[in-house]
Amino acid sequence: MSIKNDAVEMLARDLARRHGTGVTEIIHRALKEKAERDAAGPTLWEKLRPLHEKLRALPDSGPAPDRDFYDELSGERR
């Protein structure tokens, strides 16, 4: 693997040095930990599902707004 981002390479080398391991191993650990966190937690859709269901349950708020509605809101009523 070739890291083409200087900041990423510096971070990987620094972490590897602090953990007493090689760059490949530290990248492997970081990717594995991230994959495990992602697999353990709910997806974004799962997190937003209660909100989505609550919004879907709300009654219709009335007719769809038209140009007159927006003109009235902005004070540009003709």
Q: For 26-57, how does the pLDDT look when each residue is reduced to its tens digit (9 = 90+)? A: 999 999 999 999 899 898 999 999 999 999 99
The per-residue pLDDT for 78 is 62
Residue 13 scores a pLDDT above 80? yes
Rounded-to-integer distance, Cα 38 and Cα 20, Å = 26
Say if residues 29 and 6 touch (Cβ distance below 8 Å): no
Q: For 58-73, how does the pLDDT look when each residue is reduced to its tens digit (9 = 90+)? A: 998 888 888 888 888 8
